[in-house]
Structure 1
Amino acid sequence: MSKETRNFEDNNKEIKTPAKKRRRKRKKKPSIPLILGCSLLLIALMGVTIVGTIFFKSMGDLNIVELDKSNLGIADDEELSKYEEYDKIKNILLLGTDQPTESGEPIRSDTMMLLTIDPINKKLKITSFMRDARVEIDGYGEDKLTHAYAYGGAQLTLKTFNENFGLNIEEFASVDFTTLPKVIDILGGVEINVTPEEFNDVNNVIFEDNRTYDKSTPYLQEPGLQTLNGNQALSYARNRTSEGGDYARTQRQRAVMEALFKKGLSTPVTSYPSLLSKVLPFVTTNMTSGDILNLGKNIIGIGTKNLEQARFPLDEYSWGEIDPVDELWYLYFDRPSTKQQIQDYIFDDVNPLGYEDEETSN
């Protein structure tokens, strides 16, 4: 059995409980790049300086929650002081979660991306993290990064990121898996370059979704640069059978993210009020209206021409295998090296060797 096959099958295995480490069967759910919908919140903020009063009125549609910022495991000043002006760099964790079920099954963060606003180097960075990465989760021992959300929601997920990767994340935004197609359709679709190899695989995902969820999503007619509707883009980003498996899937997620940014920027500012009213109800965050207003201004100041995309752990510092105890597939990685690489990239704009192959452009 190939590594990619084992990884795919593991997505539907139950999260082990800390007490008995048991697994139980659960209904199969699609593995979906849920966080991509969060980018629309950031796109909408591009227009806050022009539609400010309407923006604050629309903020009432956001689902705002509070986090205990004293218990987020934030790296201390002594650790981060080696990076000059590190405190000027803003990090926001974007989370995509499973859809809540009637059975009350744990909700996982299927996709996790870090948005970095770097005014020092005038860059925006979108950094993907592998969901199966084996990390230390406070109170639960070593487990998959994706399971932190199931154990303790956004609070524990931010703490897990900060403690394992030496970061200073205090804020997040999240959506569930129903959001992406709706948000993309609101914008009129996204432009994606589908390779000949991906073409059949994406149509296979569309076929399975249509059959399983009684959808009527049109199939792609040919490979190449084209505008995908919401469900087609979802299938494109979910595809993990093309060469590269889950690694390439994170690259496709970033491609959709970048396409969303570009489409949002091409939207007339006069359309922002309507866009806000449609998008914000999908988003949960702990950011206040003031936080988001400042975020929008900072993004406007940088612009998306300097948007970079990356993924950790790097291939040459990670390997996948099945744990003989719980029989789950994990992505193991060189923790000290990966932590250093992440900190250097986020706080010092150092691109570690091999990153060039991870960037996408569509």
Structure 2
Amino acid sequence: MNAAPVSRRARPAKVPLSRELVIETGLRTLDTDGSGALTMRRVAKELDTGAASLYVYVANRDDLLTGMLDHVLAQVPAATEGDWRARVTQLVEAAIEALARHDGLALVAFGWFPTTRHALGLLEQVLALLREGGVDPVTAGWACDLIYRHIAAEAVDDGGERARWNLRTLLNGIVATPVGGGPVRLARAEEIAALQEIERRAGAPFAEVGMRAVAEDEPPSREVLGGFVSDGRAWVWPDENGRPVAYLVLGLVDGQAHIEQVSVDPAHAGARIGKRLIDHAVGWAKGNGLREITLTTFTQVPWNGPYYERLGFTYIPPADEPRGLRAIRADEIAHGLDEWPRACMRADLATWRTG
């Protein structure tokens, strides 16, 4: 005798899919079977659905991993006991412990610059504590990058007493390190030749990635740079002797601030000087009632598009480019720059993160 058919309606209802559920399931899979087993197909199987259904909530595996990282960092408690050093130590050790509990997630943190809500929230706490400890804003800003890398690297090795010693050494160095040169100031007419030389030096690394034409391109003319200097929209970062080692010139395009050029002498790379100059330009733009800041950049050069994305810039779809930016892009195309992928970017001044 055949059993009576069972209606599909009698099956237990599935829990509705959501980004949070997909991320939690991915984390469970990671903890159960390791990073090698973490695929979109496997997560979909755990949720009793098709892999295509997941793409409504996560863009791809990288987005899933980023979400998992943020989910874990959201569980790091705020540090409340002791002086600023003790609280930085508590916060960092809690973050290391949280990441180390999940196979392979520390490598995600180590390979990607923090851009998610809770990763940035963690760094904001560190920044506030460093400022409480008397570290100047500029040094505290780049120190946050070092501390984040410390968290990720030590989580890979499961932390421990060595991690605590490394952090003490790192904090001692941060406190003892003076700011190299600065602060940002207006460029002077007699420094235009120096700005052109900075531009030539800054262009040299492009040759190393096969972009020799860009590396050999001439810097802006004296007349062009002189116009920005005269208008008070050219700034430099001077070294300890007052000589410019980086500069930024700011235009006005479509009624908004537009970074025409920002260049740092490679000998001073890694000190976040470019970020300091951009922060200054953002401050000027805000002070003049502007809403956003734009630029054009190579999308696949690490110190161009990916760098600006980490700062908070987003790409503008070509169809959405306003008239002024479209004209700039047309000039760049005519100049041969589109031999390599290039695009416009914008950042909202209201949400810009200084430091």
Q: TM-score, normalised by structure 1?
A: 0.27
The structure in which a higher percent of residues are helix is: 2
**TM-score, normalised relative to structure 2:** 0.27
